[in-house]
Chain A
Amino acid sequence: MKTITKQTFRSLLLTAVAVTTFSANVSAQSYDNYNKRELLLQVLDQSRPNDYVPVFFNVHFPDKFGYKAVKSHVDWFRTTHVDFVNVKYEFVPQQVTINSSADFKKIKEVTPQEWVEQIEVVRELARELKNEAFIIPTVYSPLALLNQAAGTWNASDPKAAKQKLFELIKKDPKAVKPALEALTKSLVYYIREARKAGADGFYISSQGGDIDSFGGKLFRDLIKPYDKQLSDAANEVAPFNILHVCEGGGHFSAESFNDYLDYPGSIVNVPYHEFKGQALTTQQVAKLFDRPVLGGLARQGKLYTGTLEEAKAEVDAILKDAPANFILGADDSIPNDSDPERVRALVDYVHSWRQTHTN
């Protein structure tokens, strides 16, 4: 070993690099000098399948705001090789006690200055990563924010608390409208400010309540007029938006999706499990929405519960039957204690899957 001088070592290294470089084949969407922004945009080319398959996994970080939150996002992006920067929505603007429908009046519009901390995370991440990847903050729905404000998520018995809230809403839908309107305005404000701070688009988490209680007519009459405004606003201000239909613990059926077909969004991400025995395939979703699909995996797939080999096998099965224009991901945030190194191993595997599995 000692006989190899520094210079020889360097020239060996250079040769190795050169050999590797020249043996590389060119292929469509090969990433010679462009970045994850373009790789993601290429998924939109519906004239052919994207042969680089981008991947999206996200977790909630312990640090919600400030430098540490920014660092958590950067580390996750760098360590896992995911293809865009999803900025978590962590802002809880207000907590109110809702015991009667009159209490809905307590829910107020969130003032601009209250958004500063959440928007600063977007701004810092844009400064750091915008040149190489899309900055795509999550946006919760008005219904989700209503639950958040009423404290149902943190209640000792979230299910019962949710149920209580839903009963109040169902009893007097009119009374909740001003609250939904105030929350919608606040979220539209967030979308516009985040865009100015550097967001390239939004991961719009629509619905976000319990579909069992809030599906069908009630959704169309009461929730959708507010819910859809967020997708519309995102579509108006940003180049690349993902429509996430959030099941919020309920049970979607294939027909439930019809209510979302007129929502704008460049890519759709819908739940795939817990259907009443009639889950849609990713191909069916792509056809139904006539858009590229993000998804394929359940929140707690083999990536979390199994070995890496099992996770790869799961991905093999999904990619074999995926629609032409496809981004692999889970139908919601993956568990917070997911191992980033393992996520990366799977992400790398997916990126080149279509180039290595030609049949």
Chain B
Amino acid sequence: MKKVQIRILAMTLLIVSGVQTVSAQSPVADSKRERILQVLDQSRPNEYVPAAFFLHFENKLGRKAVQDHKDFYRATNMDFVKVFYEIAVPKIDIKSGKDWEKVPVYGEDFFEPQVAVIEDLAREFKGEAFILPTVYSPLALAGQTLGFENRKNFKKLVEENPTAFGKAIKNLSLSIENYLRAARKHGADGFYVSSQGGDGNSLSPEVWNKYVRQWDKHVSEVAVEIGEINILHICDYGTPFKNAEALYAFADYPASIINVPLNFSDGTTLNLKEAQKRFGRPIFGGLERLGVIAKGSVEEAKAAVDELLKNASPNFILGADCTVPGDTDWDKLRAVIDYAHTWRQTHK
């Protein structure tokens, strides 16, 4: 009798469990952390398409900044927690090229307010999603050092004394390293490393190659040494890359995923499938930061996602090529992100 009962119970269980449907990478018990990691499986396309957009918040640091990040993450349903980099290195009065030598290495303590935001967000979300703080490049920090008014003299001040400029870049890179190590110790899982990103394309190739590149790359190397998963953002803020080949010059920068610019100054656009092949890594991005995601309706944005995902790389995360405008409608972002998540399951 007992055996019969067990049999009936087992059958009932089987029937009940048989009702749910399953699919590859279906979120049965998988967290957003695992869904991002699944994108790294280049033996097949990721069926769940993670998505993330970023915008600068009104509050930069402190409790209110943490709250903004939380609200944005929850409201948009994006797949990782990207922490904005909002701490600027002090302005230094650089009148001549030699003054670049005044730039020091900033220690971990300098970054404390930024790390505090990371720590709070990690406490809240680390269990469910990756905490990926943004990291600016040494060049971007050199721009901060100059200050906004002096930035027009940037090129001139570099060329006056490239060696001193190289020292400043090195010190800034070592400062960023201190930030990365502090952030990792306080809960960051990895980093969104914004390489180049200070109008490096306006520098002469000689200065870029001799004084900047190795220290720009150093940031990615440190991130990869200490972080579980890292995204390399190849920033074309300021001056676009000439063509795709110029972009592929970054293929020796380490990182798990590449966030790419889309348009080049010669009028060509990036082929995402080709980009995955050339970088040998999954691609993140695809939408233009000032395109329909910023200005269009939800329907227009979805149509752009349709077009994009039809031609996306097999291993892909949806996003923009950089930060979207601060006044972008959060509900629209949510609609687009939710739409992307199931797109490959609904458009076979």
Interface mask (B1-33 → A, CB under 8 Å = 1, otherwise 0): 000000100110110011010111110111001
Q: Which of B17, B25, B44 is within 8 Å of A197, CB to CB?
A: B17
Given contacts A26-B185, A41-B34, A116-B10, contact A34 B23 (CB under 8 A): no
Q: Using Cβ atoms and an 8 Å threshold, which residues of chain A touch B290? A: none
C-alpha spacing A262/B82, complex, angstroms: 37
Chain A: interface secondary structure?
loop
Q: Using Cβ atoms and an 8 Å threshold, which residues of chain B touch A266? A: 41, 43-44
Q: Which of A20-51 contact B (CB under 8 A)?
A: 26-30, 33-34, 37-38, 41-42, 44-48
Distance (Å) between the CB of B42 and the closest chain A CB? 6
A162 at the interface (CB under 8 A from B): no
Interface size class of A (residues with CB under 8 A): 35 or more
C-alpha spacing A185/B27, complex, angstroms: 25
Q: Using Cβ atoms and an 8 Å threshold, which residues of chain A touch B184? A: 26
Given contacts A116-B10, A239-B25, contact A28 B228 (CB under 8 A): yes
Interface mask (B179-203 → A, CB under 8 Å = 1, otherwise 0): 0010011000000000000000000
Distance (Å) between the CB of A132 and the closest chain B CB? 11
Q: Which of A30, A33, A44, A120 has the most C-beta atoms of chain B within 10 angstroms of its own C-beta?
A: A44
Q: Which of B22, B127, B228 is within 8 Å of A29, CB to CB?
A: B228
C-alpha spacing A123/B20, complex, angstroms: 15
Closest to B228 in A: A29
Closest to A126 in B: B29
Say yes or no: A26 contacts B181, CB within 8 Å.
yes
Given contacts A38-B34, A41-B34, A236-B24, contact A120 B228 (CB under 8 A): no
Q: Which of A30, A33, A34, A291 is within 8 Å of B43, CB to CB?
A: A291
Binds A, one of B219-227, B234-242, B320-328: B219-227
Q: Using Cβ atoms and an 8 Å threshold, which residues of chain B touch A26? A: 181, 184-185, 226
Q: Using Cβ atoms and an 8 Å threshold, which residues of chain A touch B42? A: 44, 46, 290-291
B-side interface residues, number (CB < 8 Å): 41
Given contacts A41-B34, A235-B44, A237-B24, contact A193 B14 (CB under 8 A): yes
C-alpha spacing A131/B228, complex, angstroms: 19
A196 at the interface (CB under 8 A from B): yes
C-alpha spacing A29/B10, complex, angstroms: 41
Q: Which of A227-241 contact B (CB under 8 A)?
A: 235-240
B98 at the interface (CB under 8 A from A): no
Q: Which of B14, B30, B40 is within 8 Å of A45, CB to CB?
A: B40
C-alpha spacing A45/B281, complex, angstroms: 8
Interface mask (B274-296 → A, CB under 8 Å = 1, otherwise 0): 00000011000000000000000
A264 at the interface (CB under 8 A from B): yes
Distance (Å) between the CB of B114 and the closest chain A CB? 17
Say yes or no: A196 contacts B10, CB within 8 Å.
no
C-alpha spacing A130/B14, complex, angstroms: 19
Distance (Å) between the CB of A68 and the closest chain B CB? 16
Say yes or no: B10 contacts A45, CB within 8 Å.
no
A146 at the interface (CB under 8 A from B): no
Say yes or no: B40 contacts A41, CB within 8 Å.
yes
Given contacts A113-B11, A119-B14, A193-B18, contact A46 B40 (CB under 8 A): yes
Q: Which 10 A-B pairs have the closest CB atoms?
A: A41-B37, A44-B40, A44-B41, A116-B10, A239-B25, A45-B40, A195-B22, A45-B256, A266-B41, A196-B17
List 17 interface pairs A-B (beta carbons < 8 Å), by A numbering.
Answer: A28-B227, A30-B226, A34-B33, A38-B33, A38-B34, A41-B38, A42-B229, A45-B256, A47-B281, A112-B18, A123-B13, A130-B29, A193-B17, A196-B18, A196-B22, A239-B41, A240-B38
Enumerate chain A interface residues (CB-CB to B < 8 A). 26-30, 33-34, 37-38, 41-42, 44-48, 112-113, 116, 119-120, 123, 130-131, 192-193, 195-198, 235-240, 264-266, 290-291
18 A-B pairs besides A196-B20, A236-B24 with CB distance below 8 A are A27-B226, A28-B225, A28-B226, A42-B37, A44-B38, A45-B256, A46-B280, A48-B256, A113-B14, A119-B14, A120-B10, A123-B17, A192-B22, A193-B17, A196-B17, A239-B30, A266-B41, A291-B42
